[in-house]
Amino acid sequence: MKNVIIVGGGIAGMAVANTLAERKVANINVITDFPFYFAGPSRPLLLTNEQKYERIIRGYEEAGKKGIKVTFGHVIKIDPANRKVYLSETTTSNSSLREIEYDYLVIAPGIVFDGSKINGYEKVWHKNTTVYDIGRINVLKQRIWNATTGRIIVYAPKAPYRCAPAPTETAMLIHTILKYRGVREKFEIIHIDANDKTQPPAIADIVSQLYQKAGINLVTNQEIVEINESEVITKSGEKYKYDILAMLEPNRAPKFVEEAELGKEWMEVRSPQDLRSPKYDDVLAAGDVAKLPYPKNQEIAFESGLFAANKILEMLGYSEKVPVQYAFVGWAYMGNVEGKLETLSVRFSLDFSTQPPKASKDTEPKRDYTLQKDNWEQAYLERLFGYKYIN
């Protein structure tokens, strides 16, 4: 049987792995950093204690029962001309480098956060936290729950970045916590956005109304290019002092993609349905790393994984195709303006299978939408990792 190597055991990588393993058409080896996966969508609710770490972590062993091999290591280089992947056993050093050969390679490592284009970032990186990273959200949580006064800056870089509404969610949840603590009037919250509207644009109007109610200041079209101990500086020279900073760094593909000449910021693909590299028939992209004309979110990542699996099935000579199209439903947490630790959410969806894409939304914040998002996230984790979280 052919060897399919998948780099990244996240949403897209596990979508490919499960689809191929269920059909027993190839040897599947997922190479991934850590012996666990940590889901993204409900991470912001860790801030308000509405989500628990253990509910959104999964191990790989149950998926392994299907015949998916998982190798833990950090991929640092690929050599598509010689069909080799190089990994190191740790994420911090290149010692004990291993090489693995493949017949087909799927690159699905998600994104990296890149502060290097922001002057001064290297020096004061520790001042910044976000809801995006599992360690840093814990730090942000301590800062928000312990602070007594000051200015909080939340920042969204230029799109595309992973999970469009997360910076807005961060601002609204911070408001909620401060209000709950009875100290909201001692803080100023500013959301600086490098885009002309908060993302996604479909819900920008309701966000601006809720920001007014919550007293959050919104500054758009301002890209942060410099940072020091106490202020951020934008491209047009505006300076904003901060006490707490939740700045999402620009997103991009891991460097090994560019080094293998598979793309610059994102990995190039032939089309959203044919996710092969334009240069190599046996190298495919899936998930957030791929240069796709769609938002970078969980459903698009999953669907791209199914398209990648379909292409591999075709190349292996199988006629079966898994049904898939590009469409997603999203729920954005809007916190709770009154300060109850019961987050309300708005709902929006986009279906790219029609031209023009069909959009729908309900921008009335509802508690039920927060619960729907939880069910949706848990269902994906069960499907991809093979088990349910039991309390």
Strands 3-7 and 239-241: unpaired
Specify the DSSP element, H or E, that contains 309. helix 298-315
SS (H, E, C) 210-277: HHHHHCEEEECCCCEEEECCCEEEECCCCEEECCEEEECCCEECCHHHHHCCCCCCCECCCCCCCCEC
Q: CB of residue 59 vs ligand FAD: minimum separation in angstroms? A: 12
Other CB atoms closer than 10 Å to residue 24's CB: what's the count? 11
Question: Which residue's C-beta sits nearest to ligand FAD?
Answer: 10
Find the part of the chain contacting ligand FAD (CB under 6 A) among 18-26, 32-40, 141-149, 184-192. Answer: 32-40
**Nearest by Cα to 11 from 79, 111, 136, 135:** 111
Q: Does 33 bind ligand FAD (CB under 6 A)?
A: yes
**Choice from 5, 153, 163, 190 touching ligand FAD (CB under 6 A):** 163
Rounded Cα distance between 351 and 330, Å, is 11
Q: Does 200 bind ligand FAD (CB under 6 A)?
A: no
Q: 35: which 2 tokens?
A: 């012996």
**Choice from 287, 335, 365, 386 touching ligand FAD (CB under 6 A):** 287
Look up tokens 């106490």; give the residue.
230
**Choice from 32, 195, 222, 370 touching ligand FAD (CB under 6 A):** 32
Q: Which is nearer to ligand FAD, 152 or 301 (CB)?
A: 301
Other CB atoms closer than 10 Å to residue 127's CB: what's the count? 17
User: Residue 120 to residues 126, 128, 224, 233, 331: CA-CA distances in angstroms?
Assistant: 12, 12, 11, 10, 35
Q: Does 162 bind ligand FAD (CB under 6 A)?
A: yes
Rounded Cα distance between 79 and 123, Å, is 34
Other CB atoms closer than 10 Å to residue 60's CB: what's the count? 22
The span from the first CA to the last CA of the chain, in angstroms, equals: 40
**Choice from 4, 5, 6, 7 touching ligand FAD (CB under 6 A):** 7
**Choice from 160, 167, 250, 254 touching ligand FAD (CB under 6 A):** 254
Q: CB of residue 354 vs ligand FAD: minimum separation in angstroms? A: 20
Q: Does 40 bind ligand FAD (CB under 6 A)?
A: yes
Q: Does 195 bind ligand FAD (CB under 6 A)?
A: no
Which amino acid belongs to residue 304? S
Q: Which of residues 323-342 bind ligand FAD (CB under 6 A)?
A: 330
Determine contact, residues 343/45, Cβ cutoff 8 Å: yes
Determine contact, residues 264/173, Cβ cutoff 8 Å: no
Q: Does 155 bind ligand FAD (CB under 6 A)?
A: no
**Choice from 128, 129, 222, 298 touching ligand FAD (CB under 6 A):** 298
Q: Which is nearer to ligand FAD, 132 or 211 (CB)?
A: 132
Find the part of the chain contacting ligand FAD (CB under 6 A) among 181-189, 199-207, 284-292, 306-314. Answer: 284-292
Q: Does 9 bind ligand FAD (CB under 6 A)?
A: yes
Find the part of the chain contacting ligand FAD (CB under 6 A) among 60-68, 172-180, 213-221, 297-305. Answer: 297-305
Q: Does 250 bind ligand FAD (CB under 6 A)?
A: no
Q: CB of residue 185 vs ligand FAD: minimum separation in angstroms? A: 28
Question: Can you give the binding site for ligand FAD, defined by CB under 6 A?
Answer: 7-13, 31-34, 37, 40-41, 43-44, 74-75, 108-110, 131-132, 162-163, 166, 254, 287-289, 296-299, 301, 330
